Structure 1
């Protein structure tokens, strides 16, 4: 069976045991600190109950998960009191993390006897732990694909080079310490490098309305439906956007809803010349039953045309 035919059929992999280990390992690295020497940390993940799978259909990897997580937290109050408690998160799912269909729910319990210092630490945990936990939850879909994607995708090549890489900007530790300012060192202007380029065009037909597709390409709440990764997008001329967790960045040049999107395109990849921007024009032509979408990427470095075309078709 050819790689294109093999990747068209539905396949899935149950990765529940791996997911439990991932949450146990990653969430117990979380520590936060307060303004008066208080500190809170996740000490144990006692339960991860639910389903976690990775699916593959039509060459697209799809994360499928919905789990309940229970954990223990502890900390030291400003007066030295040891404080501990429990936290239940009824739902951590693809729909919340990537689609943004609802918000996380946190059910807190303070196990230590209530006191002024203990209550202050408890409120610190309730205020700051969710921010760091949600940053970790945002990493989970990418970790699934990175660890298990190769088990489902049949490729004609040894590896898929040049695909957007995930950003590693999220940190699991929150601190209020302000670092000492560093002296400003002026750097010489970067050398200008000429990049020989060409244009890649990909066309596809979607059984959907043009305005719906336009929204799917530009609405940061809907973009993760097809990128399976965090996105930032403010669809207005001059505004910056970020796809694939920072793997692709750029600015919107013009938007003519629902007919055309023009945006700069900077790929964060070792194979892409540093600082080199291409221009992506997405044209939408709606008929009575479907919409034809044409992607034109102008400024592709010579020698990368086939790779870029595969990625545009795949994503």
Structure 2
């Protein structure tokens, strides 16, 4: 390793008010889950929806399941949230003593979709003309009011969890507002290198022509940081900009890009090596390639070598576009 005072200055902890995370270079994270559950219940419980002689109210937030977090990477705020919400409601028409009860289900409130596009299903218990009118009211008017509350949740999440994530630089005691940017996903890649595709063809099964893809790239980060970027679900979500399923253990499954890429972890050596079985959805059924990441930390950077064997020859170009270390932005 480099001697004290040498190497990339971003790796050196300088004098500063907090003495940590110099220039906001490293990934920091806050768990926003418990706060989010309380905030969603506060915003939705007892929500009154009244218009033209129709009175409805959310009587209970029956279920709030999911997670949320706020992250700082190089001075950029990255928010993740995914919630499955179920509400109970009741309502009646003016002049009627009958009370109609029902439910509203919000299966996927997440950063992937704008709040105005969030799916919401309205159901009722019972039948009859009044019940159908109230269901239509909740479907047309009630959903808009609930979306307003969900939009307020997202706004307050970002406001509350921006505090303390962006740290002042050396010589500063506060953070200037214009130094903060809020995004939903993305990393900043440092060095691009063209892939080298071996000319050696292989055949498996029914004479399927395959090739090997090899990549080598240098990143301005620690080896452990790169390893986390490939195995920590929040960071993989930011890279892929989509929903991620991942079990980070030997034999654990993963699904990326909406299920278009699936596979299994074959070997995991923190900060040093990742081996995966990996396939693209359009490949021949049950055919997997084998991807090996070799991670080597140098004095002031980390060298990552990727080797992907058994890629169908006809899919090399498409596969190369999805290879993690050849993406536009990472780490």
TM value normalised by structure 2: 0.44
The structure with more radius of gyration? 2
